[in-house]
């Protein structure tokens, strides 16, 4: 059964593609992309290519709801968790917030099938 993301993909893509429309959380000290700007570019590229088949599930956070995707990037499976923040940031007062973006620790089930690390 196909499950749909909480945040409409087309809106996510539209906001993230704009300058200032994307904000990414950095947790670990490992740089996977050769610089922060490259990391942001990579996140934008991945978001731009997201399809409903990449969607795994939605998760309720403390205040927000986030969508989780499993994608293939550079021969590995990656975990992507995002939401749209309307807290007066980015163009039009909205910003796509990437809460997690890292290589998968274990496989994740998506609409398109299981994505392995």
Partner 1 sequence: MKRCVACGEGRVVPVGGEGRRTGYKNLTDLEVPADLVIPTCNHCGVEWMDDEVAQRMDTALEPVYRKRLSQMAAQALEALAGVVRQGELERKLGLAQGYLTKLKRGNRVPSAELALHLAAIALNPESRLQEMDDLLEFGFTFVLGQRSSLQGLAIEDLACTQTGIGPSQASPQWDSIPYKERSHAVPVAA
Please say which residue, 9 or 89, places its beta carbon nearer to partner 1.
89
- Residue 21 phi, psi (nearest 5): -90, 0
Contacting positions for partner 1 (CB under 8 A): 19-20, 22-31, 34-37, 39-40, 61-64, 83, 85, 87, 89-90, 95, 97, 99
- Residue 45, classified by CB atoms within 10 Å of its CB into exposed (0-12), middle (13-18) or buried (19+), is exposed
Closest distance between partner 1 and the C-beta of residue 39, in Å? Answer: 7
The two three-digit tokens of residue 3, written as one number: 């499950």
Closest distance between partner 1 and the C-beta of residue 116, in Å? Answer: 25
Please say which residue, 99 or 111, places its beta carbon nearer to partner 1.
99
Closest distance between partner 1 and the C-beta of residue 90, in Å? Answer: 8
Please say which residue, 2 or 37, places its beta carbon nearer to partner 1.
37
Please give the Cα distance from 87 to 93 (Å, whole number).
7
CA nearest neighbour of 26 among 14, 35, 16: 35
Please say which residue, 56 or 99, places its beta carbon nearer to partner 1.
99
Please give the Cα distance from 98 to 111 (Å, whole number).
20
């Amino acid at each position: 059964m196909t499950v749909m993301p909480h945040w409409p993909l087309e809106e996510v893509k539209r906001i993230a593609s704009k300058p200032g429309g994307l904000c990414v959380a950095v947790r670990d000290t490992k740089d996977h992309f050769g610089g922060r700007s490259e990391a942001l570019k990579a996140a934008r590229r991945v978001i731009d290519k997201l399809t409903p088949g990449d969607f795994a599930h939605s998760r309720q956070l403390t205040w927000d709801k986030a969508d989780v995707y499993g994608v293939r990037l550079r021969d590995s499976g990656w975990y992507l968790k995002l939401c749209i923040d309307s807290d007066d940031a980015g163009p039009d007062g909205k910003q796509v917030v990437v809460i997690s973006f890292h290589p998968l620790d274990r496989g994740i089930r998506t609409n398109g099938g299981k994505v392995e690390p």
